[in-house]
Structure 1
């Protein structure tokens, strides 16, 4: 008599208690819980990718893609009908719209724009590609920016440090470089060692020690000069200078 069953449920006596026979989509001891996991949408009535939306326990509607219509999205709609793509391209239909495929010298959603690449917006050898109603520049190595306008020395062939033995890589352009080598090295990549002491006998008095940037002659005590070509006797005029001054070896 107290109608314990909610939402249209039907009460049945069961011993000293009761049981509720619940309508579709309602569950629980008293039919108090709305269960969207079990209902008419479970049968997937909407066709062609349409989405089923429950209105109540007995009713639904379908959300259809733009290219379909009808109660169950069962009818195909030609979205290209009446779309001539400005008389320049051709139309390709999609479920959610259409695309105009334009020739090289036209662009835009309906091929209504002259190609944005006609003005050659890409600099320094960049290649222009249409992208929707705009463009994208494919830039050559070392050039960046929307129009390939920026020279980027942080990314290039010198980053691989091709010069050996302490040589310095110098960029000529995006694809070429040369190596500044120390005096003791030669070759395109400074790969060859050059014996700077070869043919240098240090005046027959000392011995030669090679460096990356040159050589040194190590002279005995009584010789001096870059190649040990100066004797102290010659420099100091027999160790006596004018006015009685004494020569001091101070090189």
Structure 2
């Protein structure tokens, strides 16, 4: 394996256990990325079949989380990892929790994708697509940073969340204006708002994963740390 630079151990089985867990995290991340991409496509293209496919596959993400969590617990009990090894296991446990929740947000978007929208309302979905693509790119870069456990890459992705927040706020203003001009559209536009909120939360989840990467590399908790302080670590 040539992704995460894990330390070598006297026990070859310990190395294999760590590498197996990491590979499963990568597989889980790939599935979560596909679920998000498919849910966004289903929403924009009104593809009900694709939306149903996303809903059908959500259980796979849940199975990954349960399996990886159990494996990490087994490694802790059997190997009693310390220092960097323990930080890696903790980062993995926290990461899979956020990945599972990203999968839940994708499921919410897929549910909305099955609803009916007028042509004018579908035009508003194009703005949602822009936000969706920004969030999808953030997730891709987050998974790439995790693969390499790259502190600098994680810090850059972490800072992208402010851009996601600005796009989300701009979209919310547009949707609120549309509802005020046409109160009959409120039920459908509320569904779009739920989807936008789901995307914004995915950005927050990606930011969390970046903090776990930075914690593994530096051995320091970065929650509630300003960008300036991060750069000075």
Q: TM-score if structure 1 supplies the norm length? A: 0.17
Higher helix share: 2
**Structure possessing the higher relative contact order (Cα contacts under 8 Å, 6 or more residues apart):** 2
